Amino acid sequence: MSSGRLEETTFLQMFRLLSLCIPGAAPSLSQNQRSALASSHAHRRLRRGWIWKQLFVPEEDPTPQVIGQLRSDSDRGESSIRYILSGEGAGDLFQIDESTGEIWMLRKLDREEKASYVLQAQAINRRSSQPEELQSEFIITVQDINDNVPLFQNEPYESSIPEMCPLGTTVARVTATDADDPMFGNNAKLIYSILQGEPYFSVEPKTGIIVTSWPNMDREARDQYLVVVQAKDMLGLSGGHSSSTTVTVSLTDVNDNGPTFQHHVYAFGVPENAAVGTTVGRIMAEDGDIGINAKMSYSLEDSLEESGTFIIRTDPVTQEGVVLLAKPLDFETKRRFVLAAEAVNDYPDTRFLPLDKFRDRMTLKIIVEDVDEPPVFLHPLYEWKVPENVVVGTAVGSVSARDGDAFDNPVRYSIDRRSDAISAFRIDPNNGTVTVVQPLDRETSAWHNFSAEAKETAQGRLSSSVKLFIKVLDINDNVPRLARDYQPYICEGTQPGEPVQLISAVDPDEPVEGHHFYFSMVPDRHINPNFTLRDNQDNTASVMARRSSFSRQDRSQYLLPVVLTDGGTALSSTSTLTISVCTCQPAGHCPSGGVRARSMGVSLQSLIGLAVCLFTLTVLSVLLLLLRRHRRKQREALEVDTKELELELPDVLSQKVLYYSPVGAEWAAVPLRPRPSRKERRLRREDVRASIRMSLRESHLIGPEDDVFRQFILERLAEADGDPCVPPFDRLRTYAYEGAGSPAGSLSSLDS
């Protein structure tokens, strides 16, 4: 094949491939090209070309119409080719004439719903029913019209800017969208404009950015603006669509105002008896700002004489200055106060105002109002001391009160009649002198606390009271005595010099340096041969034995007088100790002599335990009594049987018993065991009784129905049955204790 032929064939193949890949292309081959393609592919059917133009259809057109034609170049107009259409919208939106290849649009289309449709076309030979052309794909494009209105996004719009902001400050940006095709004409090209809000605001036409166009907008004059912005397509030309939106613009506050008092002088009145902390009045400085920019603090400036009488605090909610009383007032001392009050912004901003514009001053006048006040005592309380042996009529002290009002009315004094001290003291109604009217006793009442009252004699007859504290001083007017009722005792084996009792003394008096007692025996011509007294020099004394061989049989009690003397004016008293002689236990304890029985409370648990123990002992006693009777009857029966056997047996067997051996079936004589001695027998029974007593003590908490109790009874019965000291001390006792009616029977031949 020549190079020219090869190039032609390659060109035809590329052209055919390009016609399949590019929709809307109208392939057309010359006769020579068809012949060359056929000769290069003799083994294949010749593929002819499609002939069509690019298809477009306007949207929103409801009229059925022909929008294009598909035709094969082999179609000679003889209706030999049938055209078939498939793909998106085929048969529903689009239809093809099978004979001519004309494509019809059946109903209106919406580009915003679908902008293009991809379809496939086939050409079939009617005679051979074979494809005349290969299936080809083409696109129908929906042409846009301006049928959509611009829509704003993210509505509603709200924005805020600070007041006094400069020109050109950005306020907000509005954005609208148009559903029309932005690539086709000007249908979707928007222009923004201001419908409302001029001359304060303007908008950039293409971007929708709103900016300020008015200088120094003042929030205190107007704090909110409503801006209306329009968006129009077709670049704003006539015939286009438009829509609008609103933007709410708020002005935020800046500190461009200082506090200002509406009045230069404020006057308040306050009664002289007002309590500290009382609100005298409120002042207020106006500030056009809000929030933190309106926060202010108040202060007072007063002279040195009036310093600290009043203070001012800022109310955080209302921003008022609250004037408070800080010290008590007295109308008679000062009746008028003149103060200077100042209000200062907490956060001044010098960008808008000078620093001195953020403060303001005014004058505050406070008038003290007179009130009728009760008498006032010179002291808040009175405290006096008086010895307990003071003479009746002695003046203890005096109280004094005066009327603080301008009239200075006289006052009268009295003692509170509800107090117990009214019987011991009296107050002079004119001069307030307090005197003693009855003897005092410190040991009965060491303090007398009561109130004295002062009352006006005129006007409102107001009164006031004051506390009086009178301390009664001690004198040595009481004798010492023993600290308690001692019950000493001495053991019979006490040796000379051993202590018998430690004693101490008490005294109702209270000397300043504390008590110091002296102990001694009553002076006598003869020294006490039995006891002596040793003063321990620590307010105690020890009673000592002077001899031994104290015997309760000789004498059971001894009387020992003891002289007690205090360290004051040497008052003394004599007390007698009763010393008992006791037969003491090894540890030195006296169970009876010299010790008094003390009553002790018995708890409910102790009573229950005692009752259970008594019940157990009673039951055991009855059982032991029945057991003893039973054993006695058995012993008597055995003695009778033994005597009968002794009468029947020969003398040689008088001390023996017959024994039957089942092996040899013979009788045998077995000697009886010797009777144990009485002493040995008594000792064994004592051991048994001790065991019984011990068991009783261990089981005092169990009842007669308890398993332990029943086991105890069985063990005691077994001990009694197995006691070798019970007569007749031979093997006959086994049969004697066997009992009657045994189900096993007996092997003894005695019964036979």
- For CA atoms 707, 708, 714, 718, give the dihedral sign: positive
Whether 420 is in a domain gets the answer: yes
Residue 279 sits in a domain whose CATH number is 2.60.40.60
Which of the pair, 31 or 541, is modelled with greater confidence? 541
Same domain, 390 and 418: yes
Could you give the 3-state DSSP secondary structure of residue 116?
A: strand
319-343: string of b/e by CB count within 10 Å (b at 16+)?
bbbbbebeeebebeeeeebebebbb
Residues 446, 525, single domain; the answer is no
If DSSP codes are grouped into helix, strand and coil, which group holds residue 39? helix
Q: Which helix (H) or strand (E) holds 562?
A: strand 557-565
Token pair in block for residue 559: 């009387």
Model pTM above 0.85? no
**What's the pLDDT at 592?**
61
416 assigned to some structural domain = yes
Judged against a pLDDT cut of 60, whether residue 600 lies above it is answered with: no
| Structural domain boundaries enclosing 433 | 376-473
Q: For 304-319, how does the pLDDT look when each residue is reduced to its tens digit (9 = 90+)?
A: 666 789 999 999 999 9
What is the rounded distance in angstroms from the CA atom of residue 315 to the CA atom of residue 324? 12
Residues 91 and 133 in one domain: yes
Q: Smallest Cα–Cα separation from 425: which of 403, 461, 399, 400?
A: 399
What local confidence, expressed as pLDDT, does residue 266 receive? 93
Facing residues of 361 across strands? 342
**Given a cut of 60, is residue 605 above it in pLDDT?**
no
Specify the 3-state DSSP secondary structure of 732. helix
Task: Note whether 284 and 305 are same-domain residues.
Answer: yes
Strands 131-143 and 116-125: antiparallel
The 10 Å Cβ neighbour count of residue 132 is: 21
- Cα separation, 195 vs 88, whole angstroms: 46
Is the per-residue pLDDT at 66 higher than 60?
yes
Lowest-confidence pick of 168-172, 365-369, 410-414, 416-420: 416-420
Note whether residue 421 is domain-resident: yes
Higher-pLDDT residue of 430 and 719 is 430
Q: Lowest-confidence range among 169-178, 192-201, 634-643?
A: 634-643
Find, among 308, 470, 331, the residue nearest to 390 by Cα.
470
Measure the CA–CA gap between 397 and 103, rounded to whole angstroms: 135
Domain boundary among 312, 345, 366: 366
596 φ, ψ to 5°? -85, 140
Average pLDDT, the chain: 78
Contact in structure between 245 and 196 (CB atoms under 8 Å)? no
Q: DSSP for 118-141?
A: EEEEEEEETTT--EEEEEEEEEEE
Domain co-membership, 299 together with 242? no
Concatenating the DSSP letter of every residue in 350-404 gives TTTS-GGGGEEEEEEEEEEEP-----EESSSEEEEEEETTPPTT-EEEE--EE--
Same domain? 270 vs 354: yes
Q: Are residues 98 and 164 in the same domain?
A: no
Residue 644 scores a pLDDT above 60: no
Amino acid letter, residue 722 = G
Residue, of 715 and 454, whose pLDDT is higher: 454
Q: Picking from 235-244, 292-301, 532-541, 740-749, which range would have the lowest pLDDT averaged per residue?
A: 740-749
Alpha carbons 503 and 406: distance in angstroms, whole number: 70
pLDDT (0 to 100) of residue 627: 83
Percent of the chain with pLDDT over 90: 32
Residue 492 confidence (pLDDT): 86
Q: Which of 326-340, 494-508, 512-526 has the lowest mean pLDDT?
A: 512-526
Phi-psi region of 373 (alpha: psi -120 to 50; beta: other; left: phi over 0): beta
| Cβ pair 77, 101 in contact under 8 A | no
| pLDDT over 80 (residue 392) | yes
Cα 467 to Cα 142, 380, 399, 416, 453: the distances in Å are 110, 8, 10, 10, 9
When divided into structural domains, the chain yields a total of 5
**Phi and psi, residue 354, nearest 5°:** -65, 160
Q: Is the pLDDT of residue 738 over 50?
A: no
Give the integer Cα–Cα distance in Å for 33 and 10: 11
Q: Mean pLDDT throughout 52-58?
A: 79
* Average pLDDT, integer, range 336-355: 90
515 within some domain: yes
Whole-angstrom CA distances from 300 to 88, 216, 275, 493 are 89, 36, 20, 95
- The whole-number average pLDDT for the span 183-207 is 90
Task: Examine residue 699 and state whether it is found in any structural domain, yes or no.
Answer: no
Residue 676 or 248, more confident:
248
Burial of 205 (0-12, 13-18, 19+ CB in 10 A): middle
Q: Does a structural domain hold residue 406? A: yes
Distance CA 520, CA 564 (A): 7
Residue predicted with more confidence, 749 or 537:
537
| CB contact burial 257-275 (16+ within 10 A = b; e otherwise) | bbbebeeeebebebebbbe
Asked whether residue 296 is domain-assigned, the answer is: yes
The CA distance from 106 to 117, in Å, is 14
H or E segment to which residue 489 belongs: strand 489-491
Nearest partner of 413 among 433, 435, 392, judged by Cα = 433
Of the three residues 109, 143, 177, the one that is the final residue of a domain is 143
Q: Of 253, 256, 231, 257, whose CA–CA distance to 242 is shortest? A: 231
The predicted structure's pLDDT at residue 149: 87
- Does a structural domain hold residue 440? yes
At 398-431, the pLDDT tens digits run 999 987 766 667 889 999 888 877 888 999 999 9
pLDDT digits (tens, 9 = 90+) for 202-231: 999 999 999 999 988 999 899 999 999 999
366: number of Cβ within 10 Å:
22
Tell me: do 130 and 157 sit in the same domain: no
Least confident of 163-167, 327-331, 451-455, 693-697: 693-697
Q: What is the pLDDT of residue 307?
A: 73
pLDDT at position 306, please?
Answer: 67
Backbone angles phi, psi at 7, to 5 degrees: -65, -40
Q: Is the same domain home to 139 and 157? A: no
- pLDDT tens sequence across 93-114: 888 888 888 888 888 888 888 8
Of 560, 581, 602, which residue sits at a domain end? 581
The span from the CA of 454 to the CA of 159, in Å, is: 74
Q: How confident is the model at residue 743 (pLDDT cuts 50, 70, 90)?
A: low
Mark whether 229 and 174 lie in a shared domain.
yes
**Residue 686: what pLDDT?**
46
